Structure 1
Amino acid sequence: MTTNTSDTDANTLKAEEWQVRKELAAAYRLVALFGWDDLVFTHLSARVPGPEHHFLINPYGLLFHEITASSLVKVDKDGQVVASGGLSRVNPAGFTIHSAVHMGRDDAGAVMHLHAADGVAISAHRDGLLPLSQTAMLCLAHLSYHEYEGVALNLDERERLIRDLGDKSMMMLRNHGVLTAGKDVPETFTYLYFLMKACEIQVKAQSCGPVHMPSEQAVRTTAEQSQSLGSAAALTWPALLRLLDSKNPGYAV
């Protein structure tokens, strides 16, 4: 008996896509669990395995704690819906931001963008993210900045956004929020967690009065130690899924 190679490849791609769908749905629910969501706004996306330039994003209108693997919308690089599990509208600003990164960075398997209050607060701070904590110092070598240009509806902004991101995995969208990009959903969410935690710590530290700054040598040393930060996902992601399974299961349908 012979096996049709093309059928095997297609089945493999379907299985790989379903795995990405489950991971992305989990990330949406984790954002809600940590209190980082913004009603139906902001967005997380992931590249669909395969030769097509397709990626998955949330249907515009669902709260993050409602997202499931099958409800995610598949769109192409032009923002056209390829497949949906019900609601098929996507946030146009989400398409602008996410398509920029997915099209400009071949290594970006996932992209996550939030309007969480502490992240927006630090994006609006004159000095941005400061080395006030070990967590922040682990982020700084991975961080870039992009100036606010208005609601991201202008496709021309994509070129400037990807230019400002460069080869970094984290970005402050000035006066707007935060963004992370990584090879896959687990890595990208891990970057997001570190960046949001660093922002939360800074907001609290600066609200207490004068802050203590570490030495430049300590900042440099921690930056060197942070080069493998994304690899922490191997430990964090399974633990996060266990947390989600205990608090808000049902995302993998």
Structure 2
Amino acid sequence: MSGHEISIDYGEIRLPGISREEWVARVQLAACYRIFAHLGWTELIYNHITLRVPGPERHFLINPFGLHYSEVCASNLIKIDLDGNKLSTSNYPVNPAGLAPHSTVHRHIDNAHCVMHTHTTSGLAVACLRDGLSMTNFYAAQLSGRIAYHDFEGITVNADEGSRMLKSMDGKPVLILRNHGLLAWGETLPQAFAYLWTAQRACDIQVAAQALGPLIPIPDPVLEQCARVSLQFDPAYGAGVDGFNALVRQIDKIDQSYRL
């Protein structure tokens, strides 16, 4: 390994008829599901992380609806097209509430190769606040200018919400779904994770700080400086790869079955 590369032992392909490139994507995504479980970013069998399969087609991988994140592995991820049609064999369905927002982003944002959505307690709490994420802490400041909001329209099963969601996003990598949760996308899986992790930490700090008293505002020039020099999103500095690798090493100490 040299530079900023994902440090996973991908092993042998365990599914017939798939490319090495798809297997690599499967192992990376399965590792990410285990990382979410390790961090407590789970919601029973709900929520999703999706990753595009390398190639000209807009196919992507999604978790089987019915498995906990700790049960997801490379071989049981489901490959689907943008309309939710299964392209790999699975006894599990695909959750339509997960398909709508993820397929919208994958379909319309060319460089959105990975999309993540969570319902964490502090993330959803901030999403329920009238003013949303407050630019009053170290992590929020790094996301200045990178956050968008989308009003709640109910459970996301209606395809026609997609155009309104895209308009709300306006190309920004972090979307706070009001009354609902957090969504982030990236050109790579580690970059999407870096955006989501930063947003999650910002929400954690805000919820804790608001319980103690008034928040200290950060001046606009300082917010601009924080966003400009926050390099963990920048491909030139790995775009989150090193942090992702550190978490993969933690998962490998616990359970390496995600590679199966």
**TM-score, normalising length: structure 2:** 0.88
Task: Write out per-residue CA displacement over residues 14-40 of structure 1, whole angstroms, 9 at most, x where no aligned residue.
Answer: 111111111111111111111111000
CA distance in structure 1 between the partners assigned to 2:92 and 2:59 by the alignment: 15
How much has 1:234 moved relative to structure 2?
2.8
How much has 1:228 moved relative to structure 2?
5.8
CA distance in structure 2 between the partners assigned to 1:126 and 1:247 by the alignment: 40
Spell out structure 1 runs of 4+ moving beyond 4 A.
none
CA distance in structure 2 between the partners assigned to 1:87 and 1:31 by the alignment: 23
Task: Write out per-residue CA displacement over residues 81-140 of structure 1, whole angstroms, 9 at most, x where no aligned residue.
Answer: 1103x3330110111010000001010000000111110011111111112211111112
Query: Contact 1:42 / 1:114 at 8 angstroms: preserved in 2?
Result: yes
SS at match of 2:84: coil
What's 2:60 paired with?
Answer: 55
What's 1:31 paired with?
Answer: 36
What's 1:4 paired with?
Answer: none
CA distance in structure 1 between the partners assigned to 2:27 and 2:45 by the alignment: 19
How much has 1:247 moved relative to structure 2?
2.7
Aligned length: 241
Query: Contact 1:138 / 1:229 at 8 angstroms: preserved in 2?
Result: no
In structure 2, the gaps of 5 or more residues are 1-15
1:198 to 199, 202, 223: 202
What's 1:244 paired with?
Answer: 251
Query: Contact 1:101 / 1:162 at 8 angstroms: preserved in 2?
Result: yes
Query: Contact 1:31 / 1:37 at 8 angstroms: preserved in 2?
Result: yes
Q: State the superposition RMSD in angstroms.
A: 1.6
Mean CA deviation greater in 208-217 or 148-157: 208-217
CA distance in structure 1 between the partners assigned to 2:192 and 2:202 by the alignment: 16
Query: Contact 2:29 / 2:74 at 8 angstroms: preserved in 1?
Result: yes
Mean CA deviation greater in 98-107 or 124-133: 124-133
2:69 to 42, 54, 64: 64
Q: How does 1:56-135 map to 2 (within 5 A)?
A: 56-84=61-89, 86-135=90-139
Identity of aligned residues (%): 39
CA distance in structure 1 between the partners assigned to 2:214 and 2:58 by the alignment: 49
How much has 1:227 moved relative to structure 2?
6.5
CA distance in structure 2 between the partners assigned to 1:94 and 1:225 by the alignment: 33
Query: Contact 1:71 / 1:87 at 8 angstroms: preserved in 2?
Result: no
Query: Contact 1:22 / 1:252 at 8 angstroms: preserved in 2?
Result: yes
Query: Contact 1:110 / 1:185 at 8 angstroms: preserved in 2?
Result: yes
How much has 1:194 moved relative to structure 2?
0.8
What's 1:3 paired with?
Answer: none
CA distance in structure 1 between the partners assigned to 2:201 and 2:257 by the alignment: 26
Query: Contact 2:79 / 2:87 at 8 angstroms: preserved in 1?
Result: yes
CA distance in structure 1 between the partners assigned to 2:154 and 2:210 by the alignment: 28
CA distance in structure 2 between the partners assigned to 1:53 and 1:156 by the alignment: 19
Judging changes above 3 Å, is the alpha-carbon distance between structure 1 residues 133 and 247 closer, same or farther for their aligned structure 2 residues?
A: farther
What's 1:164 paired with?
Answer: 168
What's 1:40 paired with?
Answer: 45
Residues 1:217 and 2:224 are matched in the alignment = no
**TM-score, normalising length: structure 1:** 0.91
The structure whose residues are more often helix, as a share, is 1
